[in-house]
A and B are shown apart, each in its own frame.
Chain A
Amino acid sequence: MIMLVILLPILTGILIPLIPFKKRKHMEIFLESLVIVNSLFVWYLMFHHTESIFTLANFTGNLSISFKMDGMSMIFGGLVSALWPLATLYAFEYMTKEEHEKVFFLFYTMTYGVALGISMAANLLTMYFFYELLTLVTVPLVMHTLTREAILASRKYLYYSLGGAAFAFIGLIFVIIYGNTTNFVYGGVLDLEKIGGRTNVLLLVYVIAFMGFGVKAAVCPFNSWLPAAGVAPTPVTALLHAVAVVKSGAFAIIRLTYYSFGTEFLKGTWAQNVVMAVVMFTIVYGCSRALKETHFKRRLAYSTVSNLSYILFGVTIMTPAGLVGAFSHLVFHALMKIASFFCAGAVMYQTDRQYVHELDGMGYKMPCVFGIFTLSSLALMGVPGLPGFISKWNLALAAVESGNSLAYWGIACLLLSALLTAIYMLTVVVRAFFPDKEFDRSLLDGIKDPGWKMLVPLFLFSIAIVAFGLHSVNLVKFFDSVAMGMK
């Protein structure tokens, strides 16, 4: 069953260019229904999963490609499978303006399977495998427009990602050598006897691997690929570079920290302080870059940089509570950021406007889009009653409870970043809804909200944002049980 949900999208993707669809509509229906079916399978799996590990193939020795559905898989897989059908729907409308759609949907759909593969990987090697695969299937998506800029961006993306993986690989090796097993076991698999007096080397390796996986999670100084990759069509930027790809980096770090090295080994060491400091710096750095950026999508991309490090901050606290914070931001940020990206995409699609200073007065012409954008901005800022607040709350409480004095500074970073978030998001909102007194409205003639395929996902996201903001108790309880290692 696990194999099915991973392979189905990959096969579907491959089928798309092979089937001669008579009309575009047929392809849409075919694709959307398969994606939905796959998501339903995932959700079915989430409620009927077994504890057993499914092994596909053995590499060398004790290394194997195997899958398992545990709590973390449910979080990431559930998130991905909930977002994908909607993003696909959005892409149908968005891609009408772009060329070679089929190639696009080929890779777009394959990515779904690969992302699920990451989420359900049962050991480090399998995750690494899908992690590399994710890079490869998403590069064509970044390259899609084939402009010079896009090609440079995709190269950068590729170099950074493969390079990051190369260093993460070192971590993999050490877990193979010094661990009892490479399977993910909550609490870590390192064999302390084998390590003996070489703790410092292992800590160094942890830092290296953290930074390696951190490349995908856009940890400073390895973040510059993410804003550059914003040249991709918006469904890609929104779903992959705000959710699937970058979150898989964070996901991998969680696996590495909590399920391979184990927090007991890492907590209170210099390694923890190093990674935490890096993450804190990234939080602030990403925000301040977003502030300076005038390109709409790139601004959001920098915001992603900063927000991803929120997740990692939760991870580096290295307590179950921190993990809960990380999980909640992982899920909530996905919702908020995908909504805001989709808004930016809708603006680009309808008007070809890409820069923030071109957005004056658009709020009147596209009330739905900018209304939802405002909502997601507020959520990102962390206004109480919206999900951003909940995740920030969980993160900060975890930091306070950990008693780590560096983590206290982390709270300060979070709040500083929230302030900067307010600035860079709300200036957009202000422009859209409160244009200058002398603003000439006739410039905006003919602009209107996009069609239903774009609006439906947007509305569903905003409903989800509000719903989670008001009632997240059960979800957080679930996170709690996962973070305590019970699921």
Chain B
Amino acid sequence: MDFVQNFPFFSIILSMFSGIISSVLPKRAAKWVNTVMIILVGIFSFILLFYMIGRGNSYTYMMGHFPAPWGNEIRVGVLEAGMALFFCIIMILSLFGGRKKLDEELEESKHSLYYILADLMLSSLLALVYTNDLFTAYVFVEINTIAACGLIMIRRNGRTIEAAVRYMIMSLLGSGMLLMGICMLYDLTGHLLMSNIHEQVSALAVSGEYHVPLLVTIALMSVGLAIKSALFPFHAWLPDAYGYSTVSSAAILSSLVSKGYIFLLIKIIYRVIGIDVFDGSRIIDMLFAFGLMGMIFGSLSAIKENDVRRMIAYSSVAQIGYIYMGIGMGTQAGMEASVFHILTHAATKSLLFIAAIGLTDVSGGSRKFIDLTGAAYRNRWAGVAFAVGSLSMVGVPLFSGFISKLLFAQAAVQNHVKMLPALIVLGISTVLNAIYFMKTVIRIYTPVEGTGSGEGVTFKNMKIYVVTLVCFIILNVFLGVSSQPVVNLIGQGLAMFS
């Protein structure tokens, strides 16, 4: 066994441990621990990724060398490593981008708490990505929920508490359903390790036994995770949670947390239930339909919204709709497109959130559209970044959004039944995206009388912010221009799942 194979385990433990020690550290130290930890984990994942590419197949890692059912297993493939790397990148960029805001909005005493929560969040995400054990997954889902609630409500005002409560309730409902699903699976199969369950489920599917319970299980788990990842119509908690929390939280929540759950769902589909069984159930059509509806209604809500952060939040609903549509197509290509869109959306949405905060800051803190007029002249970097993010979301070539759209559409064509609805909704949703994003871009680029350009906002006092934005933009363009290797990796990774 190569030493590298320990890295996933190290990553999880490292992040968890840094969370624990941060609780006794002062604010600055907590910040540094957090940064160093994320970078370290990122490096681990990076090395791991290359190792996996070289290795060509996945491996299972038994914690403490106890075999199942006593031990706990980690399973690593290209996709897992890549996802972990990507999560690290987004996380650190989000934190950097929102750092200034964080310093302003949070009480002095809460700072170290924030980093603890961030550390825990990362560790739970990593665990969700790597674990090969359903129960472990459940545990970390809960940790994730707690961390997320904390991230939402750490900025204290009435709205965030309400949002956090809402999130909590919906999220717990989701995890409850997931738990019930896991229990039933355990009942049916007697296993908790994914690979073992898979064998049993395939056998059950072949024999035709327990058809209904199996279906219910699939439904429970899918819906549970769908609630947690804010699939339409279970998205009610999302706009407030994303809209009012501090910006780093919003960026992390929208681009990482919901994506972690979706990744888990994909994993369950492949590794637990098996893609064939899943395809055969009606659940897939339901996800597809919800995805389509989300694409439309999320965008419609975004159009109606008069608050830029909430608008971006509603746009997330639509984007998550895209991802579920891809999953719902039930083809390899659709799944690849979904995974790619997870990346795209994460890179773009956090960019948008962070750019938006730069714009609102120079507009007297107001998030109403009318006050944002000309904001792009007051903060040029944020303006450009917002424009790039918008164009990417609308699906203009050169940016990552276009490639996702391309992949979705190509995938749609392969499924003869779902092709037309998918394509047409894709078209309509692009139009709707264009409407609300471009409206905003035009708004921020409309100069108003009597405002000088960029007073108080210079490169010097926003160094980190600007660098973050530039990194995000580069990430976006990278995904948009040289997408082929990424897509190949995803394909390889999905192949390793089974």
Residues of chain A lying within 8 A (CB to CB) of residue B168: none
Q: Could you tell me the distance in whole angstroms from the C-beta of B279 to the nearest C-beta in chain A?
A: 21
Nearest CB on B from A135, distance (A): 8
Q: Is the CB of B481 within 8 A of A57?
A: yes
A60 near B409 with CB under 8 A, answer no
- Against A, the Cβ 8 Å flags (1 = close, 0 = not) of B483-494 are 110010000000
Of A60, A132, A154, A162, the contact of B403 (CB 8 Å cutoff): A60
Chain B interface, number of residues (Cβ within 8 angstroms): 37
Given A167-B427, A177-B413: A59 and B439 interface contact (C-beta under 8 Å): no
Contact in complex: A166, B487 (CB < 8 Å): no
* A201 close to B (CB within 8 Å): yes
What is the distance, in angstroms, from A318's C-beta to the closest C-beta of chain B?
24
CB-nearest residue of chain A to B432 = A163
Q: Which of B395, B406, B420, B487 contacts A173 (CB 8 A)?
A: B406
Q: List 27 A-B contacts (CB under 8 A).
A: A58-B484, A59-B403, A60-B403, A60-B483, A60-B487, A61-B484, A125-B397, A128-B397, A136-B391, A143-B442, A146-B446, A151-B442, A155-B442, A159-B435, A162-B396, A162-B434, A163-B430, A166-B428, A166-B431, A166-B434, A167-B427, A169-B409, A169-B430, A170-B427, A201-B419, A205-B423, A208-B427
**B484→A169 contact, CB < 8 A:** no
Interface residue ranges of B421-465 to A (CB < 8 Å): 423-424, 426-428, 430-431, 434-435, 438-439, 442, 445-447
Asked whether B398 is an interface residue with its Cβ less than 8 Å from the other chain, the reply is yes
User: In this complex, what residue of A is CB-closest to B422?
Assistant: A170
State how many angstroms separate the Cβ of B414 from the closest Cβ of chain A.
8
User: A158 vs B395: C-alpha distance in the bound complex, in angstroms?
Assistant: 13
CB-nearest residue of chain B to A178 = B413
A169 engages B405 (CB within 8 Å): yes
Task: Answer whether residue A459 sits at the interface, using C-beta atoms and an 8 A cutoff.
Answer: no
> Is A129 engaged at the interface, CB distance under 8 Å to the other chain?
yes
Q: Which secondary structure characterizes the binding site on chain A?
A: helix
Bits for B4-22, please: 1 = Cβ < 8 Å to A, else 0: 0000000000000000000
Chain A nearest Cβ from B396, distance in angstroms: 5
Bound complex: CA of A58 vs CA of B484, how far in Å?
9
Asked whether any CB of chain A lies closer than 8 Å to the CB of B189, the reply is no
Given contacts A133-B397, A154-B442, A158-B442, 19 further A-B contacts (CB under 8 A): A58-B484, A59-B406, A59-B484, A129-B398, A143-B445, A151-B442, A155-B439, A162-B394, A166-B395, A166-B430, A170-B409, A170-B423, A170-B427, A173-B423, A174-B413, A177-B410, A198-B416, A201-B420, A212-B427
B424 partner residues in chain A, CB cutoff 8 A: 170, 208
Q: How far is the CB of B485 from chain A (nearest CB, A)?
A: 10
Name B's A-contacting residues (CB within 8 A): 391, 394-398, 403, 405-407, 409-410, 412-414, 416, 419-420, 423-424, 426-428, 430-431, 434-435, 438-439, 442, 445-447, 481, 483-484, 487
Interface residues of A in 206-225 (CB under 8 A from B): 208, 212
Q: How far is the CB of A27 from chain B (nearest CB, A)?
A: 21
CB distance from A111 to the nearest CB of B (A): 16
- A125 contacts which chain B residues (CB < 8 A)? 397
A258 to B420 alpha-carbon distance, docked (Å): 24
- Across the interface, A155 reaches (CB within 8 A) one of B391, B409, B413, B438, namely B438
**Looking at the complex, which one of B406, B414, B419 makes contact with A60 (CB distance below 8 Å)?**
B406
Pick the residue among B414, B419, B447, B481 that contacts A146 (CB under 8 A). Answer: B447
The 7 closest A-B pairs by CB, nearest first: A166-B430, A163-B431, A162-B434, A173-B409, A129-B397, A166-B427, A167-B427
Residues on the B chain within 8 Å of A91, using CB: none
**Minimum C-beta distance from B314 to chain A (A):** 18
Residues from chain B with Cβ under 8 Å of A170 in the complex: 409, 423-424, 426-427
Decide if the interface of chain B is mainly helix, strand, loop or mixed: helix
In the complex, which residues of chain B have a beta carbon less than 8 angstroms from the beta carbon of A173? 406, 409-410, 412-413, 423
Max chain A C-beta neighbours (<10 A), residue from B397, B409, B446, B487: B397
By a CB distance below 8 angstroms, the chain B residues around A58 are: 484
| Docked-complex contact A159 and B431, CB < 8 angstroms | yes
Nearest to A135 among chain B residues (CB) is: B396
Alpha-carbon gap, A316 to B283, bound state (A) = 44
> Chain B residues near A167 (CB, 8 Å)?
427
CB-CB under 8 A from B412, the residues of chain A are 173
Cα A173 to Cα B337 in complex, Å, equals 14
B409 CB contacts on chain A under 8 angstroms: 169-170, 173
Give residues 34-59 of A contacting B (CB, 8 Å).
57-59
Q: Is A246 positioned at the interface, with any CB of B under 8 Å from its CB?
A: no
Chain A contacts of B413 at CB under 8 A?
173-174, 177
In angstroms, Cα B410 to Cα A204, docked, is: 17
| Contacts known (A58-B484, A143-B442); A132 close to B397, Cβ less than 8 A | yes
Residues of chain B within 8 A (CB-CB) of A155 are: 438-439, 442
**Do residues A158 and B423 form an inter-chain contact, with CB atoms below 8 A?**
no
Write out the residue numbers on chain A whose beta carbons fall within 8 Å of the beta carbon of B428.
Answer: 166
The closest CB in chain A to the CB of B443 belongs to A151
Q: Find the B residue at minimum CB distance from A61.
A: B484
Residue among A58, A63, A162, A165 with the highest chain B CB neighbour number at 10 A: A162
A75-B85 Cα distance, complex, nearest whole Å: 50
- A176 an interface residue at 8 Å Cβ cutoff? yes
Complex: A133 Cα to B416 Cα, angstroms: 32
By a CB distance below 8 angstroms, the chain A residues around B487 are 60
* Residues in B neighbouring A174, C-beta threshold 8 A: 413
8 A Cβ contacts from A129-153 to B:
129, 132-133, 136, 139-140, 143, 146, 151
Q: Report the Cα distance A60→B491, complex, angstroms.
A: 13
Q: Are A159 and B434 in contact (CB under 8 A)?
A: yes
B441 to chain A, nearest CB (A): 9
* Pair B406/A158 contact, Cβ less than 8 Å: no
* A162–B438 CB distance below 8 A: yes
In the assembled complex, the CB of B292 is this many whole angstroms from the nearest CB of chain A, namely: 15
User: Across the two chains, which residue of chain B brings its CB closest to A205?
Assistant: B423
CA A143 to CA B446, docked complex, whole Å: 9
- The residue among A61, A129, A140, A170 with the most chain B CB atoms within 10 A of its own CB is A170
Query: What is the CB-to-nearest-CB distance from B407 to chain A, in angstroms, rounded to a whole number?
Result: 8
Which residues of the other chain, B, contact A133 by a CB distance below 8 angstroms?
A: 396-397
Separation of A146 and B409 alpha carbons in the complex (Å): 37
A166 touches B438 (CB 8 A): no
B423 to chain A: which residues have CB within 8 Å?
A: 170, 173, 205
Counting chain A CB atoms within 10 Å of each CB, the highest count among B394, B414, B487 belongs to B394
Note all chain A residues with C-beta closer than 8 A to B405: 169
Q: Which residues of A contact B395 (CB under 8 A)?
A: 166, 169
Cα A267 to Cα B487 in complex, Å, equals 38
Q: Are B403 and A159 in contact (CB under 8 A)?
A: no
* Contact A162 B484, CB 8 Å, known A128-B397, A155-B442, A176-B410: no
Please measure, in the bound complex, the distance between the C-alpha atom of A205 and the C-alpha atom of B413, giving whole angstroms. Answer: 11
Whether the Cβ atoms of B420 and A132 lie closer than 8 Å is no
* Nearest Cβ on chain A to B398's Cβ, whole angstroms: 7
CB nearest neighbor in B for A57: B481
Beta-carbon contact of A162 and B431 below 8 Å: yes
A182 to chain B, nearest CB (A): 12
Query: What residues of chain A lie closer than 8 Å to B481, measured between beta carbons?
Result: 57, 59
**Closest beta carbon of chain B to A155's beta carbon, Å:** 6
B426 surroundings in chain A (CB, below 8 A):
166, 169-170
Binary contact track A378-412/B, C-beta < 8 Å → 1, others 0: 00000000000000000000000000000000000
**How near does chain A come to B449, taking the closest CB pair, in angstroms?**
10
Which chain B residue shows the least CB distance to A158? B438
Task: Mark each residue of chain A from 94 to 130: 1 if its CB lies under 8 Å from any CB of chain B, else 0.
Answer: 0000000000000000000000000000000100110
Residues of the A chain whose Cβ atoms lie less than 8 Å from the Cβ of B431: 159, 162-163, 166
Chain B residue at smallest Cβ distance from A140: B445
A296 to chain B, nearest CB (A): 26
